[in-house]
């Protein structure tokens, strides 16, 4: 087995293909600027709703990546309560959910504060308020004091995917990490976020929760890059969608001699997808708002309003007469009349094809 990257002298002196990374990084910065501009174009209510939705998804997905399933309603309720949002139907969240939310909000809303050992210990304690992970007692609020391996497979057929640095190395490695993390050296903030994520996972300083804390650190640095305490895109949602590749690339680069191009390329692609998803969501909100303003003098029945709003939400699949009837809970005859009325008004158009496959679009 090839040696691990941390076993090399000066292992944190990373290299990468500048040209390959530069092209991807330019697109990330373009999308960040575009999204910021679009968010300014929507009202405060939409910004608040978007932030609540993104934070909920981000926290749920970050835990799901590690196999921990959180109740989205509890997460949403906890976020709303901690941010003072007036959200209908708020319930009580469990201690573990509140802890994950506290860590994430601290990372994003206090991104300009220095990162310290004690702050990381507090995050870790928040993740495991009972001092247990899956029923197993773990060391919380401190760096691990035991050897750490990531293993899969049944007893007797275990496969070791990674062996972390020995416990004696954790404190000095983390001290060096924090000095670098809080430093002001000239490096693009998005690249710094990618490196921080990778470097923290390699050190693996805690008994459990390392992945979730690594993603919180990434969110912190992305918030610094955006210079805002608001969150309008979710990296964890995109990482979850590409989870197998996430682990595969980490495994590959952990054996590198310091070239982390593969990791940076993948990370920048994930950021790009996250930004694109948010842009699509906000564009849909603006398109919907513009549409209803432009057609404020038009007469629409209740069924038409329901289906049109579904279309602006990004309805998956084809809009056929039968599907209209299912969505609007009406007969196919009523659905066909609704559709023909909107076609005559120039709001819907029939897509190519006919017969039983006849379908429509805005």
Distance CA 270, CA 199 (A): 18
pLDDT of residue 92: 77
Q: Predicted confidence band at 247 (pLDDT cuts at 50, 70, 90)?
A: very high
Residues 99-119 as b or e (16 or more Cβ within 10 Å = b): bbbbbbbbbbbebeeebeeeb
Residue 137 has pLDDT above 70, yes or no: yes
Residue 1 has pLDDT above 50, yes or no: no
The pLDDT of 281-287, averaged and rounded, is 79
Residue 90 has pLDDT above 70, yes or no: no
Q: Predicted confidence band at 222 (pLDDT cuts at 50, 70, 90)?
A: very high
pLDDT of residue 87: 65
Instruction: Read off the pLDDT of residues 193-211 as tens digits, 9 standing for 90 and up.
Output: 999 999 999 999 999 999 9
pLDDT of residue 45: 79
**DSSP assignment of 33-63, as one string?**
HHHHHHHHHS-HHHHHHHHHHHHHHHHHHHH
The pLDDT of 225-254, averaged and rounded, is 92
Instruction: Read off the pLDDT of residues 324-342 as tens digits, 9 standing for 90 and up.
Output: 999 999 999 999 999 999 9
Token pair listed for 195: 């490196």
Residue 284 has pLDDT above 80, yes or no: no
Within 13 A of 156's CA, how many CA atoms are on the CB side?
0
Q: What is the 3-state secondary structure (H, E, C) of 137-184?
A: ECCCCCCCCCCCEEEECCCCCCEEEEECCCHHHHHHHHHHHHHHHCCC
Distance CA 246, CA 300 (A): 47
| Phi-psi sector, 176: left (phi>0), alpha (psi -120 to 50), beta | alpha
Number of residues assigned to the chain? 362
List of domains in the chain: 5-285 (1.10.3290.10), 300-361 (1.10.10.10)
Average pLDDT score, the chain: 90
Q: What residues does 137 pair with on adjacent strands?
A: 132
Q: What are phi and psi of 187, to 5 degrees?
A: -145, 140
Q: Predicted confidence band at 16 (pLDDT cuts at 50, 70, 90)?
A: very high
Residue 88 has pLDDT above 70, yes or no: no
pLDDT of residue 19: 95
The SS3 of residue 132 is strand
The pLDDT of 213-235, averaged and rounded, is 93
């Amino acid at each position: 087995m090839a040696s691990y990257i941390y076993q090399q002298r000066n292992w944190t002196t990373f290299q990468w293909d500048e040209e390959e990374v530069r092209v991807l990084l330019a697109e990330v910065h373009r999308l960040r600027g575009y999204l910021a501009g679009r968010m300014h174009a929507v009202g405060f209510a939409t910004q608040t709703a978007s932030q609540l939705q993104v934070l909920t998804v981000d926290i749920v997905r970050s835990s799901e990546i590690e196999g921990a399933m959180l109740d989205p309603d509890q997460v949403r309720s906890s976020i709303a309560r901690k941010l003072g949002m007036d959200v209908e139907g708020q319930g009580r969240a469990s201690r573990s959910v509140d802890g994950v939310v506290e860590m994430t909000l601290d990372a994003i809303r206090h991104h300009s504060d220095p990162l310290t050992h004690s702050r990381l210990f507090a995050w870790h304690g928040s993740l495991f308020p009972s001092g247990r992970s899956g029923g197993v007692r773990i060391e919380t609020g401190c760096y691990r004091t035991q050897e750490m391996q990531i293993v899969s497979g049944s007893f007797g057929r275990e496969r070791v995917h990674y062996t972390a640095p020995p416990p004696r190395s954790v404190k000095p490695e983390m001290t060096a990490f924090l000095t670098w993390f809080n430093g002001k050296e000239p490096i693009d903030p998005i690249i710094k976020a990618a490196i921080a994520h990778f470097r923290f996972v390699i050190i693996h300083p805690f008994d459990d929760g390392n992945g979730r804390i690594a993603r919180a650190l990434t969110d912190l640095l992305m918030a610094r890059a955006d210079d805002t305490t608001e969150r309008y895109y979710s990296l964890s949602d995109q990482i979850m969608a590409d989870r197998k590749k996430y682990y595969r690339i980490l495994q590959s680069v952990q054996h590198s001699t310091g070239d982390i191009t593969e990791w940076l390329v993948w990370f920048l692609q994930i950021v790009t997808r996250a930004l694109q998803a948010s842009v699509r969501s906000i564009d849909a909100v603006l398109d919907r708002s513009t549409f209803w303003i432009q057609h404020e003098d038009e007469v629409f029945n209740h069924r038409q309003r329901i289906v049109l709003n579904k279309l602006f939400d990004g309805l998956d699949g084809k809009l056929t007469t039968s599907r209209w009837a299912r969505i609007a809970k009406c007969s196919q005859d009523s659905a066909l009349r609704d559709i023909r009325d909107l076609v005559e008004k120039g709001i819907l158009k029939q897509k190519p094809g006919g017969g039983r496959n006849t379908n429509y679009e805005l």
